[in-house]
Structure 1
Amino acid sequence: MRLHTRTLNTAAALLTGATFLSLIGTAFAGAGEPGHGHATAAIGEPAKASAAKRTVQVELGDNYYKPESVQVKAGETVRFVLKNKGEFLHEFNIGTADMHAAHQKEMAMMMEHGMLTATGINKNMSGMDHSKMGMAEMKHDDPNSALVGPGETKELTWKFTKDTALEFACNMPGHYESGMVGKIAFTR
């Protein structure tokens, strides 16, 4: 399922608020599609930091990553230490190009609804009951992803179970398009 901006705008214009929000909630709860709250088995699995044989330091800047690519082996577990040196909220998300495209739409909706801002998570909305608005709960808690605020350091540990075309990317609106995407290259 792909939600396009034009489709959302048209739907919003035709439907009342409650009906539109109910449909959006259903879309976010879509079965089996990658993105928020969906299975990530096709790209690997979360792991404990103690299982990692290697740690990769990643600097998140305003629309760049250092390093720009990471080499991994199928079956390897890597602990990523993510340091945001920029002024904006950034994401480190492991996925395929299609997963990132879908996730970008979800992140845009989170921004539109005020759950995310350019610099952080809106703490006032974190406890909000979205079901009362006719929406499934939207939150950013996928094991393949971390939101890192300005000056913050977070960790993500991932087991790369099989060789597949993967990227790490920031899916905050406009960041991927600005070049905040890196390649995960599998080696033998």
Structure 2
Amino acid sequence: MNTIKLIAICALLAGGNASFGHENMPHHNRNAPVVKEQKPWGIAGDTQAVARTITIRMTDDMRFTPRHIEVREGETVRLRAENKGQVLHEIVIGTKAELDAHAEMMVKHPGMEHDEPYMAHVGAGKKGDIVWQFNRAGSFDFACLIAGHYQAGMTGTITVRPRKP
């Protein structure tokens, strides 16, 4: 079952009394093993396999810098999200369709709490990392899905170039 759907179902079953706030959640429990689920855009990577770190800055003008990154198929990258703003931001990797659906859910449930290896929630002035193996070539997206941020254009793209022969 899709993680987002599971969260929505759990929230409904809780009768709406559950508190789901990004601001109160820790970013990835480093003591817990990372669940490695293959996604169209890759799979959670191992820190020992990181080939390079790409820093992506997030600001309150609802922009990422850079807005486009390129990696090579099979490369494990640390995406370091630096929040240069005064409000909470996040970076979530996915396909355009997945991000559109997730953003719509965040508008309906703005305090929804969730954490996956392909996302980092970053408080004002802080940094967060995603370690990801891009094991499939193609064009993918990243975005801040906090209600209103995605709609304001806080998005970016990832091009995964095929392996060299």
- TM > 0.5 fold call: yes
- Indicate whether 1:58 and 2:32 are aligned: no
Identity %: 35
- List aligned pairs for 1:88-99, cutoff 5 A: 88-99=87-98
Distance 2:129 2:75 in 1: 17
Distance 2:132 2:38 in 1: 11
Off by >3 Å, runs of 4+ in structure 1: 22-25
Paired residue for 2:45? Answer: 47
Once the two structures are superposed, residues 93-113 of structure 1 have per-residue CA deviations (whole angstroms, 9 ceiling, x without a partner) of 1000111011113322442xx
Secondary structure (helix, strand or coil) at the match of 1:41 reads coil
* Matching residue's letter, 2:41: I
> Of the candidates 22, 27, 34, which is equivalent to residue 13 of structure 2?
22
- List aligned pairs for 1:67-78, cutoff 5 A: 67-78=66-77
Distance 2:114 2:38 in 1: 14
Which of structures 1 and 2 has the bigger CA Rg? Answer: 1
Once the two structures are superposed, residues 43-66 of structure 1 have per-residue CA deviations (whole angstroms, 9 ceiling, x without a partner) of 211112221111101111110111
Higher strand share: 2
Paired residue for 2:29? Answer: none
Q: Which has the higher contact order (CA 8 A, sep 6+)?
A: 1
Distance 1:90 1:162 in 2: 27
Asked if the contact 1:83/1:151 (under 8 Å) is kept, the reply is: yes
Paired residue for 2:106? Answer: 107
Paired residue for 1:140? Answer: 114
Paired residue for 2:123? Answer: 149
Structure 2's unaligned 5+ residue stretches are 1-10, 17-34
Alignment root-mean-square deviation, CA: 2.6
